[in-house]
């Protein structure tokens, strides 16, 4: 089977779709030998080149063209040209786009990936070609495709209900958990972690509001630095507050760390954390590259993911894998992923979000139960199983293409 995968989402910052693209390609190459799966990665960029991580992409081929991404996407999305065979000078049985719009081909089966449909409900949260093309074309392309990959049952239902795609063309292929052993214990002086791009869909405004609510009730105190100890996100030890739990014990409010690329929409949030009362209690550390992610989870007491919409919620899975409790929104695919492994709250209710964070930080027994359930749930997500499911979908797509 000859398959061409659009690897471009993984060229720069591998978050969300980029990480899914890279890990799926690596899993496919690890699960099938070249005699069964002839996999080619397509890249098109004027500046960025494919970086082959040692061992992870062994066995794959690369077609790298110096064509500006926006120019090629405009031609592909609006004209369906040029076909993959022209750009690669090779025939394929399947072309797999890692976003909702088809990678055109003369004769190959077309597979598209739809992570979520937030761009339909809230086009104002998008920009550039996503705003221009996705809302207008996603339905047509998904119905014209021979198969559709989605990461969750939630997204599958959305694609069926909102785009009218037949259910037999859709396969739920979730991300796999990273190969991380659970940590032995949570750091007593760890931070609260948010992992993701700082964009409106991630609901950063409500998170900051919840954090400010948490800061209003405690009795102010100071915590002395631990000599010789340095956090994965920096050595600065901010002043913290303490409050009394229901049992009368006193707990420190840790620092809130925002890990992720800041979009233009993040400017008001970054300005807010630089001023009282959040100054010194919230820190933005920017994008974290994949090799550094584990150590940031290691230093966290909990992960908070209050998104309005997630097609899956990879940071929650990564956190659960290593044994970090998760506070998540009760929307999108997060309830499906997190289940009973952490509190699920209304993302539009900062008071409820603050209460959930406080409970995990102050109720050690509850936090331990969330940790155990999260580790167990994370073991259900394996890239090897996903790779086999995607391969089966390729077979189905080829058969459908023959019947066109």
The yes-or-no verdict on residue 22 having pLDDT over 50 is: yes
Distance between CA 259 and CA 233 in Å, rounded?
A: 9
Q: Please report how many Cα atoms fall inside a 13 Å half-sphere around the Cα of residue 395, on the Cβ side.
A: 8
Please report which confidence band the pLDDT of residue 55 belongs to, taking 50, 70 and 90 as the band edges.
low
Exposure string (b/e) for 361-390, b if CB count within 10 Å is 16 or more? bbbeeebeebbebbbebbeebbbeebbbeb
**CB atoms inside a 10 Å sphere around CB 99:** 23
Q: Is 223 exposed, middle or buried (0-12, 13-18, 19+ CB in 10 A)?
A: middle
Q: What is the pTM of this model?
A: 0.90
- What are the residues facing 95 on neighbouring strands? 4, 110
**CB atoms inside a 10 Å sphere around CB 350:** 22
Distance between CA 326 and CA 19 in Å, rounded?
A: 20
From 114-128, 139-153, 276-290, 300-314, the region with the lowest mean pLDDT: 114-128
Please report which confidence band the pLDDT of residue 247 belongs to, taking 50, 70 and 90 as the band edges.
very low
Distance between CA 193 and CA 216 in Å, rounded?
A: 20
- What are the residues facing 286 on neighbouring strands? 259
From 59-63, 177-181, 233-237, 296-300, the region with the lowest mean pLDDT: 233-237
Q: In the prediction, which pLDDT does 81 show?
A: 95
Domain 2-175+382-402 has CATH 3.90.850.10: no
191-378: CATH topology is: Rossmann fold (3.40.50)
Tokens 């786009």 belong to residue: 97
- 253-285: pLDDT as tens digits: 799 999 999 999 999 999 999 999 999 999 999
Q: Where are the domains of the chain?
A: 2-175+382-402, 191-378
Distance between CA 104 and CA 141 in Å, rounded?
A: 10
The yes-or-no verdict on residue 116 having pLDDT over 60 is: yes
Q: In the prediction, which pLDDT does 58 show?
A: 85
Please report which confidence band the pLDDT of residue 230 belongs to, taking 50, 70 and 90 as the band edges.
very low
In the chain, % of residues over pLDDT 90: 80
Q: In the prediction, which pLDDT does 33 show?
A: 94
Bridge-based pairing of strands 94-97 and 219-220 is unpaired
For 239, the token pair is: 């002043």
The yes-or-no verdict on residue 379 having pLDDT over 70 is: yes
Domains 2-175+382-402 and 191-378 agree in fold? yes
């Amino acid at each position: 089977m000859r398959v061409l995968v659009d690897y471009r989402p993984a060229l720069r910052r591998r978050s969300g779709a980029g990480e899914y693209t890279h890990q799926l390609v690596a899993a496919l190459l690890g699960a099938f030998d070249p005699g069964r799966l002839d996999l080619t990665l397509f890249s098109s960029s004027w500046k960025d080149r494919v970086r082959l991580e040692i061992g992870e992409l062994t066995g794959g081929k690369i077609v790298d063209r110096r064509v500006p991404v926006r120019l090629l996407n405009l031609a592909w999305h609006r004209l369906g040209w040029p076909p993959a065979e022209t750009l690669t000078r090779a025939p394929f049985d399947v072309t797999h786009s890692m976003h909702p719009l088809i990678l055109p081909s003369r004769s190959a089966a077309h597979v598209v990936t739809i992570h979520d449909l937030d761009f339909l409900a809230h086009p104002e949260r998008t920009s550039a070609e996503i705003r221009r093309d996705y809302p207008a074309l996603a339905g047509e392309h998904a119905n014209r495709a021979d198969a559709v990959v989605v990461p969750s049952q939630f997204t599958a239902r959305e694609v069926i209900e909102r785009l009218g795609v037949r259910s037999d063309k859709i396969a739920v292929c979730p991300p796999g958990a990273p190969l991380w052993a659970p940590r032995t214990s949570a750091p007593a002086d760890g931070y609260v972690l948010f992992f993701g791009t700082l964009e409106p869909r991630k609901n950063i405004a409500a998170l900051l509001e919840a954090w400010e609510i948490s800061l209003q009730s405690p009795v102010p105190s100071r915590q002395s630095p631990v000599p010789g100890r340095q956090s994965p996100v920096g050595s600065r030890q901010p002043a913290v507050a303490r409050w009394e739990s229901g049992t009368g014990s006193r707990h420190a409010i840790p620092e809130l760390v925002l890990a992720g690329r800041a979009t233009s929409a993040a400017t008001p949030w970054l300005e807010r954390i630089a001023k009282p009362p959040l100054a010194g209690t919230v820190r933005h550390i920017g994008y974290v590259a994949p090799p550094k992610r584990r150590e940031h989870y290691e230093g966290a007491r909990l992960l908070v993911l209050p998104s309005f919409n997630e097609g899956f919620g990879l940071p929650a899975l990564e956190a659960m894998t290593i044994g970090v409790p998760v506070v998540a929104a009760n929307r999108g695919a997060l309830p499906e992923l997190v289940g009973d492994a952490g509190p699920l709250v209304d993302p539009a209710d900062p008071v409820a979000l603050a209460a959930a964070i406080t409970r995990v930080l102050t109720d050690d027994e509850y936090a331990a139960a969330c940790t155990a359930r999260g580790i167990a749930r994370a073991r259900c997500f394996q890239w090897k199983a996903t790779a086999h499911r995607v391969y089966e979908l390729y077979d189905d797509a080829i058969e459908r293409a023959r019947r066109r």
